Structure 1
Amino acid sequence: MEPTNNQRTVESYEVIAEEYARDTQSDNPVLASGLTQLAKTVPGAHVLEIGSGPGWDADFLDKSGLTVRRTDITQGFIDFQRNRGKEVDRLDAINDELGGPYDAVVCLHVLQHVEADDLTVVLLKVAASLRPGGRFLVSIPLGEEAGWQEGESGKQYYRALRTEDDFTATLARAGLSTEWSERSNQEDETGWLCLLAELGR
């Protein structure tokens, strides 16, 4: 059986996990405003992070007083975090159960690698894993095209861009409503969208 687009993307990350970790290390994560907003909204929360990568965002949340279950599908990232002394679980958000209930779920810089049919599956799982009134912090790149892109590493990654309206409508069908959002580029329909959604009570 041919690997899926998501599986092929994971294979690319396996090769560059340590390089990616070095390139993204910072005391102030790219989406620090969203992480700070989450910590203010659900102080002391028990959080599931889907796609923890090197673990920098989870470190930020730990320092903010939240308890984070770190997960990733890429073994290279799992090994990297375990070598840092962190506890991290292998989790495939498309095919595995997410557990819970959690006070919040975090999924940053991940869903662009998920195809449309699988996106609906993942969001329904997120909603099912949350307590009533739980929060979902998520980021997506904005746009309309989908396909393969080559990163600076020379590896290829499947990337599906979505409009804000389409994505928030998909969230709503899963029972999640936006309560806070921020764009990295306010002038047009490109850039990144970070949003915090609430599960209906």
Structure 2
Amino acid sequence: MQYATAAAPPTWWSRLLARVSRAEDVHVPRGRPLRAPPAWHDEGRPPSLTELYRAWRLDMVRLALFLVDDLHTAEDVVQDAFAAVCRAYGTSLAGLQDPGAYLHTAVVNASRSVLRRRRTARAYTPPHQGAGPPVDEGLLLAEEHREVLDALAGLTRRQREVLVLRYWSGLTEAQIAQTLGLSRGTVKSTASRALDALEKRLEASR
């Protein structure tokens, strides 16, 4: 996966990223959510499963949170994604060419499965309330973050995935297209429509 700078996000999204990045003292530069490449990237070697987990877990939880709108579920999604990596490649990850891309795809697919099950479950049961919030949930679910999550929930699944991968994960259009199995043109048009819809929803909520 390329560690390129993504297009500058809208101002309100930059504020959201700054707020989310304060959880667990992880720094996210304004307008540029990707961190520096991990050590194994510069050394030209595959990471171990432990290294991959330490480097990517928090980013993946936050990605999943934007998609499933529930921190406990997001953590489960990410655990499942890492378990899938281990089943497919073992703890040495031999043969895994692009760990970041694999994780993004695994988290998106697992989130889709969660949302499908949730739609079925909510037809006859109330949403599950977590037993107890983790230490950083107050920051993650602060008022501005909640407004954006609520607005994101009103978008189509594809629109939500494209926006989150673009402005939170900082992926390029080509990377998003590969992750979601879409053409670059579809990614571009979806992002444009999704931003317009999201801006309108946020304005309406104020």
Q: Same fold (TM over 0.5)?
A: no
Higher relative contact order (CA 8 A, sep 6+): 2
> Higher helix share goes to which structure?
2
> Higher strand share goes to which structure?
1
Q: Larger radius of gyration, structure 1 or 2?
A: 2
Q: TM-score, normalised by structure 1?
A: 0.29
